[in-house]
Amino acid sequence: MVDTARTLESSEPQATVLPEYRVRDLTRLFRQSGTGASKTLLAVDSVSFEVWPGQRLGIVGESGSGKSTLIRMLSALQLPSSGVIEFRGKSIVGLDEEGLSELRSSVQLVFQDPRSSLNPRWRVGRIITEPLRAPLLRRTQRVPLSAEGRQARMYEVMEKMGLEPEMAKRYPHEFSGGQRQRIAIARALAPKPSVLIADEAVSALDVSVRAHVLNLITDRVRDDGLTLLFVSHDLSVVRHVCDSVLVMKSGRVVEAGPIAQVYTDPQQRYTQELLSAVPRIRTQFD
């Protein structure tokens, strides 16, 4: 097993700052029932790593590698079978309602398919401002609380994502796939999270649109000082937005390190295969 805590330790700050996430020996089992005896699927197998404030960590692997199960546990959408997940020094397993609200206001997710993640019955304006109505935000004063304040924040994040103000009055089905994904990202940014998790957020987009959305994500992470967990099957895409990477196969981390090192000198055959599997795309960094 790769010692990811040691491999990624160059990202650790020198001050006594807590990591956003500390994961130790994380495992997730699923029971599968069929015509015969039930089977056990080991989706995530003894994974350990840390994510520090401002870090941009890519989690890469083929379908079935365990990467999406991992991020669902990090966001408390699934419970681990065993192991430790700490967010800013506190275990997220067994959190009460207030603790879960705090976690989910600090950690926002963007999923692969915006068509299914955006409510088709709501106008874009309501979709983007809905996270601003969370009770915890009202208590912490993280964002403006008045209707005027929510609207101002909505227009602010829409502008950052290249969306015109008049789009707030329209419905998701009126937009292209790339526009819908930008709406989904704007919604995630609205409550001013500290961590953004993108789960295959550009894999369903055309190549030219993909590059544009990647650049927007990069700009927002940099300008807003976010920590990014970027999940993808494509190591060449991760290279353009991340500074470090975990490569997963069959639920385990098989390689980890700074993205430039892993990209130019992969040590594992599996990593080499991932690098050669998908054509490179061009972005503002090329």
The average pLDDT across 65-70 equals: 93
- pLDDT tens across 172-201, in order? 999 999 999 999 999 999 999 999 999 988
The three-state secondary structure class of 263 is helix
The three-state secondary structure class of 244 is strand
- Give the C-alpha separation, 181 to 209, whole Å: 10
Kindly report each contact of residues 277-282 with a partner whose C-beta sits within 8 Å and lies 24 or more positions away, as own/partner: 277/234, 278/233, 278/234, 278/235, 278/236, 278/237, 279/236, 280/236, 281/207, 281/210, 281/211, 281/236, 281/237, 281/240, 282/211
Q: Tell me, what's the pLDDT at 23?
A: 97
Q: Tell me, what's the pLDDT at 136?
A: 52
Given a cut of 60, whether residue 168 has pLDDT beyond it is yes
Please check whether residue 19 is in contact with residue 207, taking contact to mean a CB–CB distance below 8 angstroms.
no
What pTM value is reported for the model?
Answer: 0.86
- Give the C-alpha separation, 129 to 204, whole Å: 25
The average pLDDT across 30-38 equals: 72
Ordered by start, the domain boundaries in the chain are 4-32+39-277
Q: Tell me, what's the pLDDT at 115?
A: 80
Helix axes 177-189, 207-224, angle to 10 degrees: 10
- pLDDT tens across 122-143, in order? 999 999 999 887 665 544 545 5
Out of 17-26, 32-41, 179-188, 216-225, pick the least confident.
32-41
Q: Tell me, what's the pLDDT at 34?
A: 65
Q: Tell me, what's the pLDDT at 67?
A: 93
Q: What is the CATH code of the structural domain delimited by 4-32+39-277?
A: 3.40.50.300
Q: Tell me, what's the pLDDT at 35?
A: 63
Given a cut of 90, whether residue 160 has pLDDT beyond it is yes
- Give the C-alpha separation, 150 to 228, whole Å: 24
Helix axes 207-224, 147-160, angle to 10 degrees: 130
Q: Tell me, what's the pLDDT at 6?
A: 44
The three-state secondary structure class of 129 is helix
Out of 19-28, 101-110, 178-187, 239-248, pick the least confident.
101-110
- Give the C-alpha separation, 98 to 168, whole Å: 30
Out of 17-26, 159-168, 272-281, pick the least confident.
272-281
Given a cut of 90, whether residue 36 has pLDDT beyond it is no
Q: Which of 161, 179, 174, 70 is nearest to 114 (CA)?
A: 179
The average pLDDT across 235-250 equals: 90
**pLDDT band, very low/low/confident/very high, at 10 (cuts 50, 70, 90):** very low
Two tokens, residue 195? 């961590």
Q: Which of 145, 162, 226 is nearest to 193 (CA)?
A: 226
Report CA-CA distances (Å) from 235 to 49, 121, 255: 19, 36, 12
The average pLDDT across 243-249 equals: 95
